[in-house]
């Protein structure tokens, strides 16, 4: 098994458009399944939680952890770089990793950007993960 994040970073692996489309299609199928089952959302979707098996099929991992943590009344401390896939509305919540279907779609868009550009999230901005987190965690304008 390989992490999608590692495949994206490894320039020795050729990722043509058909291959990228195949990986992203597998991701969409996984998300559709999760959104249709009792779990309802992933809550921590990122390229590090996407696994690629020996047949180069992408599989989702680490879903449902937010619900487990909430029931166990546990909190998770995350570094800024781990939150780059988190939707801004969830960054403003007191409990991280709660998630939503809409939050998963946001995370999916960030992963699409990673796969297409073969770089880390928000690479085109030139900002550090801390700066990006500061921008998105601002209180909404009233």
Taking the model in full, what pTM does it have?
0.86
Residue 80 has a pLDDT of: 81
Structural tokens at position 44: 């921590």
b or e along 86-105 (b: 16 or more beta carbons within 10 Å of the residue's beta carbon)? bbeebbeeeebbbbbeebbe
Written as one string, the DSSP assignment of 61-104 is -STTHHHHHHHTT------GGGGTTS-HHHHTSSSTT---HHHH
CB atoms within 10 A of CB 25: 11
CB atoms within 10 A of CB 142: 3
Residue 141 has a pLDDT of: 38
Domains and CATH numbers, the chain: 2-136 (1.10.510.10)
pLDDT tens, per residue, the chain with 142 residues: 899 999 999 999 999 999 999 999 999 999 999 999 998 999 889 999 999 999 999 999 988 676 666 667 666 677 888 889 988 888 877 666 678 999 999 999 999 999 999 999 999 998 888 888 777 765 443 3
Residue 140 has a pLDDT of: 43
């Amino acid at each position: 098994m390989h992490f999608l994040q590692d495949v994206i970073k490894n320039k020795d692996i050729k990722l043509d458009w058909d291959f990228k489309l195949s990986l992203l299609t597998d991701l969409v199928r996984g998300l559709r399944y999760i959104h249709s089952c009792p779990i309802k959302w992933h809550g921590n979707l990122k390229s590090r939680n996407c696994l690629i098996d020996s047949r180069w099929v992408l599989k989702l991992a680490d879903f449902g952890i937010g619900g487990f943590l909430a029931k166990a009344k546990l909190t998770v401390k995350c570094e800024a770089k781990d939150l780059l896939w988190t939707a801004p509305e969830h960054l403003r919540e007191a409990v991280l990793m709660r998630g939503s279907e809409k939050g998963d779609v946001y995370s999916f868009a960030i992963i699409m950007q990673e796969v297409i550009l073969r770089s880390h999230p928000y690479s085109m901005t030139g900002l550090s993960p801390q700066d990006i987190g500061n921008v998105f965690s601002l209180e909404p304008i009233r």
